[in-house]
Amino acid sequence: MPCIGKKSAGLSLSIALTLGCAIGTADAASIADILERVRAEAPAGANGEAAAIPPALIEFANSDLRSAPRDRVLNEMHAGVIAMQLGEHRYATPLFMDAHTQIETIYANDPNAAAARSRFVPDANKDFKGDAYERAMLGYYLGLSYMLNGDMENARASFRWGEFQDTMSASESYQSDMASLVYLRAWVAKCQGDTTAAGEEFTAANRVRATLPIPTAEDNVLVVVESGSSPVKVGTGKYRENLSFQRGALAPSPGISVAYANRTIPLGVGEDVYWQASTLGGRAVDKILAGKASFKQGAETTANVAGGIAQASLLTASSALSAGNIDIARNLTGVAGAGMLIGLGAKMFAEKAKPAADIRYWSNLPDQVWLGTGKFDKTNSGAVSFKEASGAESHTQAFTVQPTGSCYLAYVREQPNAAPKVVTTVAPAAAPAEIVRPQAVVAPAPQSYEAPAPQLPRVRDTTHDNTPVPIF
């Protein structure tokens, strides 16, 4: 996989990120292009049959063809997680990589960025680039997919990029508090033999999340377990201009244990995604939305005041005319007319300003990420046990240990086959059995995404405080 290094603009640490080299992303015009290129490069089956694109991914390719570029990044995020759950990381990496590339363009001189700053374009109409926690989680998934491809250098750079996204829009109180990315970067350094950097970063991650286990020198298996459902975005305020967050429908497991090679691998909560979503402040789009809301309130006030002046002027003019003061009546009638025009213009101005918050969200993120390490012991299989608040076992899931360079990775998602439901007012061109390219470009109707209905009702455990502390 040839790579061309590039520097990520804005990184205070002068790190050359080699993130422009994912398979299938060069000149990709759509998700369909990415999927078809990956399929073309995939080896044939045992009987010589051509590789097939996983049906679960085709839905997102067709959605992208109908709604791109508005929802392209969001479709890529959703499809990439599905690919990870299916074990199709050859598809996951280019999907995440293209989302990364699309996200970076919004911070350059881009017409869509200017449109988002306009007082007359709803925030929800801009191309989706994600909030800071979603961009940080993109770095997390991109790094994991690179690890599964054996590309540890790009994995390390991806985790660092994700951490940068987390700090870029965070308030001073919560900068650099994404322990999972620090921990994963430390793990890659350990696998690469950089024990000094690994030790420093494991210690830094442990300061944020004291329950995270620090690997021993012999550990070479990383276990990543995701539990619960994504935070949900909601719009609040008079104009739904304020973006806030709610916990997802499925609470994370209050206890998780891993059995591997007749041993138990200890895990700790490495990330609380809801915490990351709900505590990040100071992002630029918040200020733009706040500006629109303030502007609309001001316009409405102007319209109401102008209307009042017009009404009062007409009443006074009528009285003056009855008293025979024709000149005064004429002047007051002019004032009333001007007031009516100002009021009408201000009302129209106010109606055009639509500051509603963008509540599109990455709906198949987890609520929590658990991390732990162990030693490889000539077996590729293990099991994860998910607990209830009472300590009783809720269910178990098997996992496979996969090689990642000189180390190994076990990636487990609590709901491995739960795809996000795509809700759209555009009728699908066909069932998602194949990619259907539209014959004509049609302006897409707005889309929204809903998290899947919970399959495992669980009472949230409130006895544990997982609140992280910032890295200073």
Task: Give the tens place of pLDDT for each residue, 186-218.
Answer: 999 999 999 999 999 999 999 999 999 999 999
d(CA 328, CA 335): 11
State the pLDDT confidence band at 352, using cuts at 50, 70 and 90: low
φ, ψ of residue 258 to 5 degrees: the values are -125, 125
Question: Tell me, what's the pLDDT at 435?
Answer: 75
**pLDDT at 76 > cutoff 60:** yes
State the pLDDT confidence band at 165, using cuts at 50, 70 and 90: confident
The string of DSSP letters for 15-61 reads -EE--S--TT-TT--SHHHHHHHHHHHSPP-TTSPPP---HHHHHHH
**pLDDT at 391 > cutoff 60:** yes
Question: Tell me, what's the pLDDT at 103?
Answer: 85
State the pLDDT confidence band at 245, using cuts at 50, 70 and 90: confident
d(CA 328, CA 352): 36
**pLDDT at 241 > cutoff 90:** no
d(CA 28, CA 445): 23
Question: Tell me, what's the pLDDT at 325?
Answer: 60
- Segment 258-285 shows an average pLDDT of 81
**CB under 8 Å to 290, separation ≥6 — which residues?**
241
State the pLDDT confidence band at 280, using cuts at 50, 70 and 90: low
Q: Provide the 8-state DSSP code for 425.
A: S
**pLDDT at 258 > cutoff 70:** yes
Question: Tell me, what's the pLDDT at 413?
Answer: 94
CA atoms within 13 A on the CB side of 322: 6
Task: Give the tens place of pLDDT for each residue, 31-75.
Answer: 999 999 999 998 887 777 778 999 999 999 999 998 878 899 999
d(CA 420, CA 63): 13
Angle at 254 between CA 249 and CA 259, to 5 degrees: 120
Instruction: Tell whether omega for the bond before 444 is within 30 degrees of 0, i.e. cis.
Output: no
Whole-number average pLDDT of the chain = 74
- Segment 269-278 shows an average pLDDT of 91
State the pLDDT confidence band at 390, using cuts at 50, 70 and 90: confident
Could you tell me which residue, 187 or 302, shows the higher pLDDT?
A: 187
**CB under 8 Å to 218, separation ≥6 — which residues?**
375
**pLDDT at 361 > cutoff 60:** yes
Could you tell me which residue, 89 or 51, shows the higher pLDDT?
A: 89
Helix, strand, coil percentages for the chain (3-state, nearest 5): 45, 15, 40
d(CA 50, CA 63): 24
**pLDDT at 331 > cutoff 60:** no
Residue 302: enclosing H or E segment and its boundaries? helix 284-322
Task: Give the tens place of pLDDT for each residue, 430-458.
Answer: 445 677 765 543 444 444 444 444 444 45
Lowest-pLDDT range, 283-292, 323-332, 374-383? Answer: 283-292
Lowest-pLDDT range, 146-155, 269-278, 370-379, 460-469? Answer: 460-469
Question: Tell me, what's the pLDDT at 286?
Answer: 41
Lowest-pLDDT range, 135-149, 227-241, 315-329, 397-411? Answer: 315-329
Question: Tell me, what's the pLDDT at 434?
Answer: 75
d(CA 414, CA 409): 16
Of 124, 68, 78, 135, nearest in space to 452 by CA: 78
**CB under 8 Å to 216, separation ≥6 — which residues?**
373, 375
Of 81, 79, 215, nearest in space to 144 by CA: 81
- Segment 103-129 shows an average pLDDT of 57
The answer to whether 212 and 328 have CB atoms below 8 angstroms apart is no
**pLDDT at 96 > cutoff 60:** yes
**pLDDT at 459 > cutoff 80:** no
Number of H helices, E strands in the chain: 12, 15
Q: Could you tell me if residue 27 is left (phi over 0), alpha (psi between -120 and 50 degrees) or otherwise beta?
A: left
The string of DSSP letters for 120-157 reads TS-GGGSPP---HHHHHHHHHHHHHHHHHTT-HHHHHH
Question: Tell me, what's the pLDDT at 255?
Answer: 93
CA–centroid distance for 129 within its chain: 8
Question: Tell me, what's the pLDDT at 125?
Answer: 67
d(CA 380, CA 399): 8
